[in-house]
Structure 1
Amino acid sequence: MANDSFGVRVNIKQKPHSRRGMLSMISQVYDPLGFIQPFMLPMKRLMQSLCNQQLDWDDPLPESAVEHWNLWLDHVPLLKNVSIPRCYKPPNAVIVSTQLHCFGDACETGFGAVCYLRFVDSNGNIHSSLVLGKARVTPLKPVTIPRLELVAAVTTVKLGTMIVQELDYDVDNVLFWSDSTTVLHYIHNTARRFQTFVANRLAIIHEHSRPSQWRPSQWRHVGSKDNPADIASRGLMPNEFVKARQWFRGPDFLWNCQDSWPDQPAIFSVADTDLEIKPHTICTTKVTANDTPLQQLLQRFSSWDKLQKSIAWLSRFKDCVLWKYDKNRSADAPSFNPVGLTVQELENASKYIVQLVQQEAFPSDLACLPDCKSFEEAMQHCCSTKYRSSLCKLRPCLVNGIICVGGRLRRSEVFEQQKHQIILPYRHHVTDLIIINHCHHTEGHCGTLHVLASVREKYWIVKGHSAVRRVVRRCKGCKLRHAKAGSQIMGAYLRNELLLVTHHSPVWELITWDLFWFSSRRGSASDVFSDNGINFVGAERELREGMAKWNQTAIHSHLRQRGTNWHFATADGYRRSWRTVQWLADTFWKRWLRDYLPILQLRQKWVRPTKNFGVGDLVLVVDEMSPRGAWPKGIVEEVCPDGEGAVRSVRVRTARAVYTRDIRKLCLLEAA
């Protein structure tokens, strides 16, 4: 071989001057290694500008675009002078050091990256070879220069990672070069919080910059004049081939010793005024002085009944203490039911709890609304007061220290608590307790609408439907009752499932049962015709012996009316019939293979793969012989995937034993 190198062969077929024709001619250029990418960038920019003008694919191009395109076509043949050695290493050299140098740059109209291998042999000779290049146009959406430089850095680090993975060379060191000090500041400052655009790309850079050997010295600064990627970002016309010397051989300092490389500027921390720095968000928690121990006590109970009882006992204790330390002690000692709490005490405790909740949730409403003794008085004040609040649609009123619904039903003939429900906030622990314990559990774990209707018999929750739905969805009892059995995509048919089933019973048994079945559905046959085959004779004998065992006296008249005569014909007549039956059977088998078997390709259900059961999953083991509430819980200890990786059976450990169960007999409660 006279010249072992890469070259460029120019043979672009002319197409119409339209966007479609231009795209077709650009696509004719095959440059997988990006050697001539800088010379393609001007045409990519022209194509992008035509797209921005909203020209249709077959619309004629403007004259200026046609002139620019023809000028590029006239100069393209000059690219045949490009020659790049196919071998990266110099001939007959003993390499002692191999480095990969990756350069990136961006401008307003384009960005690019280029990588070179730098070899040092045993004699100290240095050689640099072009490996891979990229050149892209910038998006039409305006982007700041620092962000474009960061995009170019991402392209650079991805190219370097790909080359290290694909080359068989042992690369001693990988260095990345950029002429943007802003990008270098971003890369070196790993402790600052950046905006999402910058943060995502910095994460990619840090991940691909040799994470096991990551160090800031991998990224270096290079001047624009010594940056070959500057040629890729700005582009060149083919007649400017002479200016691309640095692109094909790399910057001059790569051919010199490391002491002559560009000096590195000081890298300082990114200023707080930088637009890409995410502002600090300070989260504060407001702790009010009005939080009494009783309000804190409300958060410690998981049951509405227990909370009621606790507050009722505290109220009884309070009455006793107040009476004991009353200096006047004019009243008699308080009397209590010795058996336990009364209904009135629990009702008073509920009202006190509601007052505490409303003091926390609706302080402004309590301050604005006048406290009244009755709903009639409250309605008069409510209608005569200019009231602005999120509760204004309910026309709230304050009666005996509790905010209730004024509403529009005050003239209806229903109970007072149904006309003027107590208002509760949307998100509060007491609200959840009332929904779950007082209504959802009492109503037998009914659905959202039924529970909401039950709640509104006494309470009005702001955004009640959403609140009830949110709380009901967390009910563990409902999860146990409504958990669905596992399923997986329908598997392929097994070989034995596609074979016809062969019945091994004697033929005379089949005939006997078929005759019995036919008689029960269609009535008794008066005559049965068959040949003299042994099976048919045996069937007739079996029938007669069986009939002989019946109670002849009781059913003699019935058999006589519905008797059946069996006629044996000659063998020749049925031999032709047998051939006909064989032909019909063969025809059926062929049609079954041709017409029905392809239908089995379709999955009528379980058409999509679902998430596999995993080790450690909490499941409910289906037991069809017991009620759902008694089904045992278990932990998945082992999964059994099929050949396609779909888990269809698992090994489950319950409190009593270990089972192997099909996933259709398991209900997933919580994933591991």
Structure 2
Amino acid sequence: MVNLIIKSTVDLDFQLQINAYVLSKITSYLPERSVNTSSLDWIDINGLCLADPYFKTPNKIDILLGADAYCCIMKEGVVKSPSGTLIAQNTTLGWILSGVVSSSNESSKHHTRNLSVHCTQFNEDNILKKFWEIEEQVSTRKLLNPEEQKCEEFYMKTTKRDDTGRYIVRLPFRDEDPACKAGSSRDIAETRVKSLEKRLNKDTYLKEKYTEVINEYLQLGHMRPVKEEDNKKDEAVYLPHHAVIRNDKTTTKVRVVFNESEKNKKGVSLNDTLMVGPTLQADLRHTILRWRVHAIGIVADIIKMYRQVRIADEDAVFQRILWRESPEKPLRDYELVTVTFGTASAPYQAVRSLHQVAYDEGDKYPLAANRVLNSFYMDDLMMGSNSVEEGVEICKQMVALLGKGGFALQKWNSNNRQLLDRISSIYTNEVVQQTGQIKIKNENTENKDKEDIGVKDNKEIEIKLDSTIKILGLTWNRHEDCFQYSVNLPPLTTAPVTKRLIISDIARLFDPLGWLAPSVVLAKMFIQKLWLLGVCWDEELTTEVITEWSTYREELSLLTKVQVPRWLGTSSSDDLELHGFSDASKAAYSAVVYLRTIDVSGKIHLSLLVAKTRVAPIKQISIPRLELCGAVLVSKLLIETAEILNISKEKIFAWTDSTVVLSWLNSHPSRWKTFVANRTSEILGALNSSQWFHVPTKENPADCASRGILPSSLVGNELWFSGPSFLKNKLIEYKRPKNLKTDLEQTIKAHTAVVPEHVVFENYSSLRKLVKVIAYCRRVLKKEKHDSKYLKDHEIEAALQTCIRKSQIDSFTTEYEQLKEKGYLNIKSSKLKSLCPFLDKNGIMRIRGRLEKSELDEQVKHPIVLPHSCHLTLLIVADAHEKTLHGGPQLMANYLRSAFWVIGARSLVQQYVRKCVTCAKQRASVRNQLMGALPSVRCTPARPFLYSGVDYAGPISIRTTKGRGHRSYKGYICLFVCMSTRAIHLEVVSDMSTQAFFAAFRRFVSRRGHCAKLWSGNGSNFVGASRELQQLASIQPAIAEYLEANNTEWHFIPPHAPNFGGLWEAGVKSTKFHLKRVIGDSTLTYEEMTTFLNQVEACLNSRPISVINFTDPGEPLPLTPGHFLIGEPIINVPDKNYKSSNVSYLTRWQFVQRMLQSFWKRWSQEYLSKLMNRYKWASQVPEPNVGDVVLIKEDDLPPSRWLLGRAIEKHPGDDNVTRVVTLRTKTSVIKRPTSKLCILPISDP
């Protein structure tokens, strides 16, 4: 779910915040077909500002609003079509159309609803993204991808210069015929400019400034009107524009922003078709590091940098806008003829043109050319010099060089006042005046000159690149020549402290060079902690977490006291060294680099250059390995910094307090495991092992960043900002421990273990695998060369003999030794004595039977003896079972007899066949569990149908009319049975819909009284009719809800367990009995079927439920359900006359009650006694346990297609016997009765 802010293109003051789920697709294109607006029954939409001007064209839906949002956008105003089938409703988003209209190519009607919204994700995402981009790995050079290479080649091929030297570029489209011109975009731009006019009319100041900006475009020639004869509106791309107010800006507070990402009718925008181009500007960290080298710092920026590069005339058609100064005037078409901010390729084109000036004109201005390539970050210039004279010359060349390409600088600033005073004189140069961009009057006062060149009255110039950096930007104090920090966090409110709030605050920390790394790393650790806690974005945090965060947040304001000198104190004659330190803790690892400067007099100066931190991975890693990660980080920082400052590799020194890391680096990476080997290879590829040294932990500044310290401890921290004290000594003692130790210490340990001799046999479940392993082992032991890696038949045979011989020796040790010594067996107690065993030439024990003179094969006459309880014997039996294609015990025994004589073969073979899962599946049989006790509602007196069961029977055919030409349809019988008296109530239903059941249930309770509890099956009586099954399953939830509203409890028996509903299953069987014999194939009308079922119901309710006495005619008739319904059988002769009894003193009411009581007395004595015996399922059978694998019986499928399931839960009854089990199959979790399960002979190891 994401948080969205919906803004209106009509009412610019309106915005609506909603939460929405992100889906890959909301719905299909709407409308389904193009809408025909030429119909006479159409709304006059002229003059209506539509929310979606392109409602006629099918397009995708970006967002679906709910009713809660719909009511917030409604406004007064409705326009209807003549017939009233189509209306236009006024909303804050514009007029929306709804109703029934015809498509453009057919007369069928489609509903169209149109809504236009603009949505953006919450701002914390963008801020957090920038935070992690700054904290990313050190930058590395990357090759251009194919598109970037194509864009570069296109620029070189098509770029030209005009007479004034300005560069003229072409828009780098991906295709020669861009798709953005295929769909008209003028209507969208017209709608946007009209909405803009409404906003400007409400704000006079904004309108005045906005008009000034547009007029400035015209005056400077950055925009031109389109001639009517050249106006090809259909092929042009029109850009909507709007105002952005920047109160923090010192110059242009109102900015016109053009939307090149606005899509046309075809859903394609200008930016969609443009190549972005490669990133050319230098990394911000590199630019600042280069700037720090110079004693005098100079800053400036290019005036309207993008607009100094012209667009070719043939591409201006893709940058059109609509504008008029007053709504009373007609809209005019204009073309932007310069690189426009917001275009996908604009940054590349502007920076590339700036660089091209240096390539084209750099020979004349050598001091400026290199600085153009390396000292600009977009339009911001940060350069310096070591003297005023050098600075003035650099500035002169820079102004002249940029002037050749039409670029001009403004807002100059420097830490040297003398240099600032002399910069103004540069603008009197004729070359600069020819650019026409800056006009300087010499008669101005000194202060005026300073204002024109951008010198501010205050003492600071902010180094800021965008709005995020502006809030938490880095400040340069000119007078003290140092960097300062500003921390502008929003004030705390009474709102709950959530993860979103904390992440928003953390993401505003801007520390590009890591000078605040010891404190910023605490924020990184806190982010990781929040993720490990698993809290949601807007969930209030615990008191402990809030307290920890509040302490840290309160101290962030102390970072404003931090001051880092800008100048590194270097000169061209100084000796420069780079010293990098790394460290790690359980929470993070870090790297920090210092510049050690030694001047000609021997004075030493240390400067903090750059630092990086990384939080430790969530998966726990040992400290030495984290230390190694820190070493990788510092090696990268050292190489990167050395390249920027032009320091040779011999002047680089790396320090760590980990002796394990130093030991790893002093050995070849191949000695170590993958993790260590990869990282040591990377480190040694950057620095030699001789450049690594040991530093004590107390003197390691990286320790501050790896553990993290609060801002209060960071301010004034000498170790961090000034480096370790030993680096300030003229002679440094480079320590390397003599006895380097790794974390893998050599130890000698003695172990005593008892190894089973059969461990090899027991490890394999296949005879083929075991024999192959033994065969390869024999190859190794023999040390013979083989011409093939594959085994030969004689090798496999020898390996099998080895296994058999080993098994015989282990199982018949005494017999084998005697046979080996004497050649015969003379042990009376031996099981092998009657077999007359002997040893063959291979040392294999065989049987000497009575068939020596037969012509049988030698293996049949003298089979190999195999023990009964041996794993090898079991493998041979398993192999025989597979080779006989899962044959039975007789076939397997006969197969084994041809080569082996297995002791106790019959029982062993039978046992294996019983345990074979494949065979068990085919002979699968289910067993019914012990019949359970009757539920209380079956053996407790209660009003008829107070407790009932329900089931469906059918389908049956019902004819619509009598006579010829009738048509029939499917109907069903709904059967209700009384759980106490077995009385039956039948209803005809026309279908299996929810409403049909409701109607039948209402008729039932209206005639039989309220039903307190209702039982039903799960549709098992519809096996073979899947469609009816699905219909029944779909109505069950609705039926349950209805019954609950009528104070009726609905109970389900387990799925596929008809025996749990035997009462209504018997009723269905009896109903069908009469139905087949009386109706047969005849088709009745609904009225005839209702009449017939009432008669069947009377017959069923007249069946005796007690024993019939055929010997005594004086005995009363047997008890029937009719006795409880009307006092006597419904279709039998009347019962005996109770009036003959002595009841003269009874009232009629008392008489009826006595009669009912006598019925219930007979019911208890005669009917319940019949239910005492269990006529089947009289014994308890084994029940599946949790974890058992079972086959799930399906009546309509063969056993080979039955599903496998694993029991995960048992549901025992009141007698503690389990008759229902919950199973997990490969697709779902289901319930089944034990009568549908076959337990497989599988046990977990």
Please indicate the TM-score interval, normalised by the length of the shorter structure.
0.3 to 0.5
Taking structure 1 as the reference length, the TM-score comes to 0.44
Bigger radius of gyration among the two: 2
